A and B are shown apart, each in its own frame.
Chain A
Amino acid sequence: MADITNQSLNEIIENVKTKKISSRELTKAYIKNIENAKKLNAFVTTTFDQALENAKQFDNKPNFDQLLPGIPLAVKDLFCTENTKTTAGSNILNNFIPSYESTVTKNLWGNGSFLLGKLNCDEFAMGSSNETSHYGNVINPVGDQLVPGGSSGGSSSALAADLTPATIGTDTGGSIRQPASFTGTVGLKPTYGLCSRWGIVAFASSLDQAGPMTKTIKDCAIMLESMSGFDEKDSTSINKKKEQYSKNLKDNIKGLKIGIPKEYRVDNMPKEIDELWEKGKNILKDLGAQLIDISLPHTKYALPTYYIVAPAEASSNLARYDGVRYGYRSKQGKDLIEMYEKTRSEGFGDEVKRRILIGTYVLSSGYYDAYYLKAQKVRQLIKKDFDDSFKKIDAILTPSTPSSAFKIGEKTNDPVSMYLNDIFTVPVNLAGLPALSLPAGVDKKGYPLGLQLIGKALDEQKILNIGYAFEKNCGFKNEIKKWWS
């Protein structure tokens, strides 16, 4: 058959179910693509032999009732995978092979899929361009010199380049949605607690959330259904009944009230972002939704709040990487303290060190009240803004990012301008809400742009439905030429 890898996950599943393609043929097709796409540097580790073995097992004893029958999947290298190296994009874990499987990936495998490889990402998921990875930049298939976004940059690149039929990332401040936006793909950050954090290398515990990255909304629903669920091993996991997002997907959004927050029209926002937003509003209006102007007055504090809370938690979460029990250990050092210092100096990259320093600072005695405690209070206000708005609306529409993909190296020397990339995505993490980034258009350079749909807590189905209707009427098509192979 024709190249199957440019199809959607849902189409591929149909082809497997109707036996038009075997799991092994499918896996081989992806392996071929991956081998031809080394230039993109999307993978840290590949597990081809194991994948082919898994595919063979599936073909020998297929179970087509599963959500992901015989589907090979590459995942972000932040998910611990049993017996497969897990680096979190860091030198400090360059030799770390977990003896356990993260709950989320375990759920995926339990639904019939298997591992194809581990995808590059910013070191410990800290970055917006995948330039902080110890394993090198990832290239955006949209253009030779473009970043794929971050931190789930290997995931977005691999997905857009047909190196995996779907993937998963993690989103602490936009790390799923921003790379999705930069690559013309769909990315969902679920409600905090919907997907277990057990076995995911932690960045900022109160913000981290795993989510699907896919080519279509339907694929997104399938993946979310496969990966989510209560986990008693994660104390912040939400105990609720599992939902059938893909089966319940509807494209009728007539009468839904869509909030348009005025605070998301920021200074110096490129005109084309504004135009994209207008286009989105019009599509939803045409579909029978009602647009309502809303105000989220504390939005402007979200970014500074985020850059206090996230580094604070990270500074503590990353303390365990000390060279004592696993991972990289410096060969230098006369005593314990020196061993720590050298191990962590050599093991961590600059961005991680920057955030550990910021986090350590804001938690220090004498500064705690002024920074961390205040940030937590502001966080409550940001959450309250959303709660208040959601009393009168069903979802919120905003741009996903303030720009399209930028050039490699363009922002590496200016951390603040890099952080500004997260301006539309971080409020959602602070409030623990679900948000979807949808491909919605291109800028004048032809680079993809995304719009963001924010929902109430646990209202994933509704934003998926809105996205589904939007997708059908938007007319966006990701035109990626395979220039790298």
Chain B
Amino acid sequence: MSKEKFDYFIKGEKGKYEVVIGLEVHAQVSSKSKLFSGSSTKFGADPNNQVSLIDSAFPGMLPVINEECVKQAVRTGLGLNAKINNYSVFDRKNYFYADLPQGYQISQYKNPIVGEGKVLLDMPYGSKEIGIERLHLEQDAGKSIHDMDPSNTYVDLNRSGIALMEIVSKPDLRSPDEVNAYIKKLRSIMRYLGTCDGNMQEGSLRADVNVSVRKEGDKNFGTRCEIKNVNSIKFMQMAIEYEATRQVELIENGKEIDQETRLFDTKKNETRSMRSKEDAHDYRYFPDPDLLPLKLEQKLIDDLKISLPELPDKKKERFIKEYGLNAYEANILVSEKEISDYYEEVAKLSDKKLAATWMMGDLFAMLNDKGLDISKSPISAKNFAELVQSIKTGEISGRIAKEVFEIMVESGDNPKKIIESKGMKQQSDPKELEKMINEILSKNKDKVDQYKAGKEKLFGFFVGQVMKLSGGKANPQLTNEILKKLLKG
């Protein structure tokens, strides 16, 4: 694969600008109950049906840490190759809002549970390492609903108190494409770990995006703006593009960039100022006196480390080594745990390389077309492997295989059964083929003479005739061989 060169710059009148991006990703922890209460975290319940006295901050209620959430954060930290802190502290972040019942969010400020780590991205211009600054645990807030009533705001506290992991990257990202790759990689790692389902539609994964620009080659960072709570990769990319361009225009016009928090308006495709640095909240962080500092035994961390599943980077290496895939193929096949599981099941029963080609081609195209996850594929891995094997052994040709594939998608049937019942088996008997070819050659004597006189292009014509006569079932390789032999004679 040829390596491209990194080329994402905002072009101004006075030169090229590099875009510097850092992300604060909020990932909902996969857990049955909330971070500090026993309420369910299931998505889609009726409003205020998953709210305990703790989540709604009744007098005298106290938080108790959910150990499973702590373990999930540690697993995620380990998956990000990060330092796990044996000592971390929960702090209160104080501010008033109707969907924040306690009047503070319990978060981690100075002492997060996970410290520095890194994530590896595969970009067309090579692999790139993105630094992780930290990961901390915090409570989600509830939801204010402003459009149910003209004069009142309704509050749904189902989400109040659900555990989030805030994963803060270093300002190492340089383009919307890198942001796309980073989010997908994070999502992939967490889904492999089972620590976050990564469902962006349900709000399980959201991000605040920090953007600044600087002249190409500059060492110092420019003033950054934070774009709050963007909930899809596409919107993040659009927001970055808009924001970077806005900042370049300001600089070129000799204006200052204000450090501020901005909102992305998805309808108008623009970012708007939400509050300036001067208006920034003073959150009055202090350690939550209702909770003791979180002390993790090294053994717990070690045990979690041992029980981690194989992660995408490792699996990719193995796929290259074990299955003879190239980096590009391996990368795609490990991107989702379910895809890699499917592939491995297919590869066990069929030709590994051919399986990869067919999965990435026809199978993915079909899934994409139908908007299905691989877990919902109408073709089971076992049937798919049989199809691949039928191609490999020459039982059917690639062209016929496509037909079989279509029938499999519709019926979910076993390919052998389809081939059998529809008589789609490839004609690979040399005697039968020879008979058929001789028939064609004798019918087209003029063309045979022309071929022999040097018009070699006609070879294709003969192949076509064989296919036509055999109903597409003639083994192409054998056909070629026999044709060549007979035409020579």
Contact = CB atoms under 8 A, between A and B. Distances in A.
Whether both chains belong to one complex is answered with yes
Interface of A: 80, 86, 88, 93, 96, 98-100, 102, 197-202, 204-206, 232-236, 312-313, 315-316, 318-320, 322, 324-326, 336-337, 340, 360, 363-365, 368, 372
Nearest to A336: B98
A396 to B, nearest CB: 25
Given A98-B58, A198-B62, A365-B282, A340 B96 contact: yes
Contact of B64 (A233, A315, A320): A233
A198 B289 contact: no
A236 B58 CA distance: 18
B290 A235 contact: yes
B59 A368 contact: no
A232 B65 CA distance: 11
Task: Give me the 6 closest cross-chain CB pairs, A-B, nearest first.
Answer: A319-B103, A205-B289, A206-B289, A363-B284, A320-B57, A199-B60
Contact of A235 (B56, B57, B291): B291
Given A312-B286, A316-B286, A320-B101, A198 B60 contact: yes
B398 interface: no
A439 to B, nearest CB: 31
Most buried by B among A99, A318, A322, A368: A322
B274 interface: no
A202 B96 contact: no
B131 to A, nearest CB: 27
A102 B60 contact: yes
B203 interface: no
A201 B155 contact: no
A223 B464 CA distance: 100
Interface string B224-257: 0000000000000000000000000000000000
A232 B36 CA distance: 12
Interface of B (DSSP majority class): loop
B59 A201 contact: yes
Given A322-B98, A324-B155, 8 more contacts: A100-B53, A200-B60, A202-B59, A204-B289, A235-B291, A316-B94, A337-B96, A365-B284
A121 to B, nearest CB: 14
A56 to B, nearest CB: 30
Interface in B30-59: 53, 56-59
B65 A235 contact: yes
Nearest to A231: B62
Nearest to B99: A324
B200 interface: no
B102 interface: yes
Contacts of B94: 315-316, 319, 363
A233 B62 contact: yes
Given A312-B286, A364-B284, A324 B59 contact: no
Nearest to A326: B58
A238 to B, nearest CB: 11
B259 to A, nearest CB: 15
17 contacts: A80-B59, A80-B60, A98-B59, A100-B58, A102-B60, A199-B60, A232-B64, A233-B62, A235-B62, A235-B292, A315-B94, A319-B96, A320-B102, A320-B103, A324-B98, A324-B155, A364-B282
Contact of B103 (A86, A202, A235, A316): A316
B334 to A, nearest CB: 40
A365 B288 CA distance: 17
Interface in B349-376: none
A330 to B, nearest CB: 14
A96 B292 CA distance: 29
Contact of A197 (B53, B60, B65, B104): B60
Nearest to B57: A320
B411 to A, nearest CB: 56
A72 to B, nearest CB: 23
B103 A313 contact: no
Nearest to B94: A316
A236 B63 CA distance: 10
A100 B61 CA distance: 10
A200 B62 CA distance: 10
